[in-house]
Amino acid sequence: MTDSAWSQPHHDGSATYVPDPNPKLGGKVNVLLRVPRTSDVTSAWVRVINDGEPELVRATIDRQDKRDTWLRAEVPVVNPIVSYRWLLDGGQHGYQWLNGAGLHSHDVADASDFRLSTYDPPPQWATGTMYQIFPDRFAKSVDRPAPAWAKPADWDDPVIGEGPDTPRQYFGGDLDGITAHLDHIESLGVGTIYLTPFFPAESNHRYNASTFGKVDPLLGGDEAMARLAAAAHARASA
């Protein structure tokens, strides 16, 4: 967090500010706000939307330290998705709103309001860092002849960013190339690899797949996918 962020009131969806991120429908959930002692905020409320209607819940002091005052509000969980923001008293304009986009000196749309969900949390593997890979552009293990639809490119050629040749430009990256770079991917703290389409198609992006029954031979085919999956899973279980 930057120095400027530390000098402003702050709330986010982490466990520090929302100890129970998956509350039960019909119950209540505590949310916390960190207010620097140097701030001109004098009090705060949570504006929560219940059945489409706004409700204000006053925050009280939870604890204090040399630098900050921590405020806590108990928010009712009326709907499966709880939408809320903070109303802060004080400041140059007499009040401020705090939502996921930051501080505002005027009322703003609710698109960036904080949200809580009563639905079951995702599996553990889906809560970490995902790394999306476009196979044609990531790494190449061998040179393969370009297909008839393609416009062949050398690996260091500039990417064609627009026009009819954009989906035809073929660099030749493949799945074994990804497998060979798993050390690098893991060093980034990645827990899940997400591939763009890898089925046979007459384009480099492969969103126009001709079948979903097999892996594109240009990427190494089903055998290369099996090798990549086995290598990735072996790291996950190590």
Segment 203-235, tens digit of pLDDT: 999 999 999 999 999 999 999 999 999 999 998
Same domain, 73 and 150: no
Higher-pLDDT residue of 166, 236? 166
Higher-pLDDT residue of 19, 4? 19
Last residue of some domain: 71, 88, 117?
Answer: 117
* Domain containing residue 92: 3-117
Q: What is the pLDDT of residues 105-125, one digit of tens each?
A: 999 999 999 999 999 988 888
Last residue of some domain: 117, 142, 157?
Answer: 117
CA distance 218 to 200: 8
Which residues make Cβ contacts (< 8 Å) with residue 82, sequence separation at least 6?
23, 29, 48, 49, 75, 115, 116, 117, 118
Per-residue pLDDT band for 93 (boundaries 50, 70, 90) equals low
Per-residue pLDDT band for 4 (boundaries 50, 70, 90) equals low
Taking all residues of the chain, what is their mean pLDDT, rounded to a whole number?
93
Per-residue pLDDT band for 26 (boundaries 50, 70, 90) equals very high
Please report the sign of the dihedral spanned by the C-alpha atoms of residue 103, residue 106, residue 107, residue 110. negative
CATH code (residue 66): 2.60.40.10
Last residue of some domain: 91, 117, 143?
Answer: 117
Same domain, 113 and 128: no
Same domain, 176 and 140: yes
Cβ atoms within 10 Å of 137's Cβ, excluding its own: 17
Residue 156 has pLDDT above 60, yes or no: yes
Same domain, 12 and 93: yes
Report yes or no: 84 and 75 within 8 Å, Cβ to Cβ: yes
Same domain, 109 and 209: no
Per-residue pLDDT band for 5 (boundaries 50, 70, 90) equals low
Q: What is the pTM of this model?
A: 0.64
Same domain, 19 and 106: yes
CA distance 152 to 140: 14
Same domain, 134 and 107: no
Res 228: pLDDT: 98
Same domain, 216 and 162: yes
Q: What is the pLDDT of residues 52-82, one digit of tens each?
A: 999 999 999 999 999 999 999 999 999 999 9
- What b/e sequence results for 89-110 when a residue is b if at least 16 CB atoms lie within 10 Å of its CB, and e otherwise? ebeeeebbbbbeeeebeeeeee
Report yes or no: 126 and 188 within 8 Å, Cβ to Cβ: no
User: What residue ranges in the chain does DSSP mark as E strands?
Assistant: 28-36, 41-50, 53-58, 60-64, 68-76, 81-90, 95-99, 102-104, 114-117, 129-133, 151-152, 169-170, 190-195
Report yes or no: 13 and 33 within 8 Å, Cβ to Cβ: no
Residue 2 has pLDDT above 60, yes or no: no
Q: How much is the average pLDDT of 19-46?
A: 93
Same domain, 25 and 49: yes
Of 120, 119, 30, the C-alpha closest to 81 is 119
Same domain, 155 and 101: no
3-state secondary structure of 178: helix
Q: What is the pLDDT of residues 78-87, one digit of tens each?
A: 999 999 999 9
Residue 92 has pLDDT above 80, yes or no: no
Per-residue pLDDT band for 180 (boundaries 50, 70, 90) equals very high
Cα angle value 224/229/233 (rounded, 5°): 150
Tally of structural domains, the chain: 2
pLDDT above 70 as % of the chain: 96
Same domain, 149 and 214: yes
Same domain, 106 and 141: no
